[in-house]
Amino acid sequence: MPCRKQTANLTCKCGIRQAPDRHIIPPDTGHAGFQLLKRIGRYRDTFIAMEPHVPRTARIALNRPIRRLFDYLVPDHIALQPGQRVTVPFGRQSATGLVVETDAKPPEGITLKPVRSAAEAWPALPPETFRLLSWASDYYQHPLGECLFTALPPALRRGRPAVENADPYWQACGDPALLPGNATRQRELLAWLNRQPGGAGSKQIVRAGFTQSQIRSLQEKELIRETTPPTPDGVTEETRNRIPVLSPAQQEAANQLPSPDNGFATALLFGITGSGKTELYLHYLKTHLDDRHQALVLVPEINLTPQTVARFQFYFGPRIAVWHSALKDSERLSTWLRIRNGEPVILIGTRSAVLLPFTDLKTIVVDEEHDSSYKQGEGFRYSGRDTAVYRAHLNNCPVILGSATPSMESYHNALSGKYALIRLEERAGNARPPTIKLLDIRSRPLEGGLSRPALQAIEKCLSNGQQALVFVNRRGFAPVMMCFDCGHMVECPHCDTRLTYHRRDRAMRCHHCDFQTAATDHCPKCDGEAFKPVGQGTERTEDILTSQFPDTPVVRVDRDSTQRKGSIQGILEKVNSGRPCILVGTQMLAKGHDFPNVTLVIVVNADGGLFSVDFRAPEQLIQTLLQVSGRAGRGKKSGEVLVQTCHSDHPLLHSLAEGHYLPVADQLLTERETGQLPPFRAMAIFRAEAETMEKSLQLLDTIKQQARYQQIEIWGPLPALIARRADRLRAQLVLLCSNRKYLNHTLGVLCETLDQSRLPAGLKWAIDVDPQETG
């Protein structure tokens, strides 16, 4: 019987000296022999019999659109665990990978390449985040590698070290009067630093409008000195004691919200516009979240974050962090490190924030949970809202879904008992819901899409010192340019759509493929002069209102006017000043903004979603109209909404005029149940695109033949609503099933089969689980 005690050094009887870290003991060495050797001092430690050295392996995920993992050898000096970043050889290059599994058995007959290095000694993705992303990869049928890398900031995806660049901290130690008269900016910087009690970092100084050379000059003159930044203790005592005061209705709703102490629970907070849902979130976090834990607040749009961040910072100070795609790489890395290091941050972010590596997450809030922006439209097509619910389940913490117009899925889950339904149907303070009127514009002359009663209502609003909001859900000047001589309309040469006229830039643009060409005054087909814009966009409405009300500022808010960093903050400051103005904008204005002096809302055209082929269009229409209507009358003054329509007798618009959402939602759910549409059945869409429609349809026909199972209903394949986009011909195949698990299993089999198939060059496919758009 060989001895099983451990050894530090051994010269076996065949004369081979073993290294201290390789304790290979001959199996015929008995216990008595080891005791003798131990007594004469040839061994310092205890002994153990070891098996011969077995190479260690790791299974690595790469940030590639391929549904497979790669096996590598792990050198003896590298210790790895799942979630850790590594550098590996990939072809002739090096690539950054994430460890998925260690000591996996590789296929036989393959020579493995070794891992070159580990980026950190700790996993970039902790176990809970790793489980979340593995679930998302399986549920949304997307390659695991791309899913995992979505949780990393861009700098770490490229292999940069997970450390922040040093930001020197400076403190004033001299008098500005010591500077010469021509050193104006240095004097201003020194005075500015004197007003910062704890000093400031170089980045903060540069953001304040100064330069690095001015910092160096003051350092050389010994008027500032480098110091260590103050250690943040979370919040000041004054900030810690701040807590929102709730109305009786808000307090009643707050009492129904689930406590983090009770573990996982999902609550749907149905709060009408202006009811103070944000105050409720703040009160909940102040009363339930201590100084040690993390929280996540999701918002649908980047442009909502400045206003939301300011309100949260008032109550939580430096605990607030921000995450969205418009941040610089260094800013995202800094926020990511705070979260991964376990700092007690309250993160406000867009949908990708739900994938970040939290280590002590205690509460999740999803504001405007109905918004389609929570669903990723390309690549990894996940739902931020649904992923947040699953993440709360993994973290055993509550998730609050808030909306004035809940999605059909969430409302159905509340009716079935999966979610708790909490109602908040009173506006905060003395505010009252606005009155909604349908304005039939049939046979009425229009100026830039606006009827005479609408213009008169705006004039009255401005004369009372108030603000008006005009909602136009099309950017640009006009959606179509048409020749009234020959009927020609300018179409995109690469898409099945018409070019939008942008008069500010004298350009015709495609909003699908970004094709652009110069605008002309003559018809490109017949050279006629009757080449005119048809329809209205935000630019055209802005021009009409500027000419009608020359003494009143007209503020346009759309994707074109808010491209530059900080532009939305400037717009919000102008509106929040309370001075009379007219806001013109798209859906960006309909979400979450609080404009106390806006008392009138004009909806230019409410008919867009009434007759769409997409079954979700009525839901999205009523949500958008109620959300934009909710911008009116949020202060002490009453609000009015005028909805221009050519179908004032439509029952959906009549329901809108009553201002109550849940009865409309009940009606829409009944229609969905009759048609066995989501949420009553699970849905997935296979999309294909190629140089010809024939190739796209052929691929989808093949999928259809393989998906013919008894429990699955199949629609198509059919060309997409916009069949040609960027010179690619697109088609789709819709699958519906009452059993979500069965559908998921079927989708997995189909995706694996497609991965193993050799497809013709240029033919691409994608899958969209729980799609928000079916066109």
Feature table: binding site for Zn(2+): 483, 486, 492, 495, 510, 513, 523, 526
For 701, the token pair is 């026909």
Are the C-beta atoms of 148 and 133 separated by less than 8 Å?
A: yes
DSSP string, 304-368: GHHHHHHHHHHHHGGGEEEE-TTS-HHHHHHHHHHHHTT---EEEE-GGGGGS--SSEEEEEEET
- Region class of 276: left (phi > 0), else alpha (psi between -120 and 50), else beta: left
Collapse the DSSP code of 202 into the 3-class scheme (helix H, G, I; strand E, B; otherwise coil) and give the result: helix
Cα–Cα dist 304/308, whole Å: 6
Q: How far apart are CA 361 and CA 395, in angstroms?
A: 7
Place of tokens 């409309």: 664
Give CA–CA dist 48/229, Å, rounded. 51
Q: What DSSP state is assigned to residue 509?
A: E
List phi, psi (to 5°) of 274.
Answer: 85, 10
Burial classification of residue 552, based on how many CB atoms lie within 10 Å of its CB (0-12 exposed, 13-18 middle, 19 or more buried): middle
How far is Cα of residue 289 from the mean position of the Cα atoms in its chain? 24
Token pair of 632, please?
Answer: 């009116």
E runs forming strands in 64-134: 70-74, 85-90, 93-102, 117-118
Distance, in Å, from the CA atom of 87 to the CA atom of 63, rounded to the nearest integer, reads 12
Cα separation of 200 and 571, whole Å? Answer: 28
User: What is the 8-class DSSP label of residue 125?
Assistant: S
Taking residue 621's Cβ as centre, other Cβ atoms within 10 Å add up to 20
Beta carbons of 432 and 633 less than 8 angstroms apart? yes
Q: Measured between alpha carbons, how far is 319 from 532 in angstroms, rounded to an integer?
A: 54
Q: Write out the two tokens for 704.
A: 């259809």
Q: What gap in Å lies between CA 629 and CA 643, rounded to an integer?
A: 9
173-193 core/surface letters (b: 16 or more CB in 10 A; e: else): ebebeebeeebeebbbbbebb
Angle between helices 127-139 and 740-756 (to 10 degrees): 80
Tokens of 63: 């940030």
Cα(first)–Cα(last) distance of the chain, in Å?
74
Look up residue 298 and give its two tokens. 């999701």
Residue ranges for the known binding site are 483, 486, 492, 495, 510, 513, 523, 526
Q: Which of 474, 431, 463 is nearest to 603 (CA)?
A: 474
| Cβ-contact 162, 156 below 8 angstroms | yes
Signed CA dihedral, 557, 561, 565, 570: sign only: negative
For residue 334, give Cα distances in angstroms to 43, 199, 325: 50, 20, 14
Most distant CA pair in the chain: distance in Å? 112
430, two tokens: 């003395």
Give Cα 564 distance to the centre of its chain: 19
- Token duo for residue 492: 């995109």
Task: Please give the full DSSP string across 407-458, using - where no structure is assigned.
Answer: -HHHHHHHHTTSSEEEEE-S-STT--PPEEEEEE-TT--EETTEEHHHHHHH
For the record, the structure tokens of 546 come out as 């500027």
Find the angle CA(306)-CA(309)-CA(310) to the nearest 5 degrees.
Answer: 85
Number of Cβ within a 10 Å radius of residue 93: 6
Residue pair 774/615 in contact by the 8 Å Cβ criterion: yes
**Element (H or E) spanning 554, and its range?**
strand 554-557
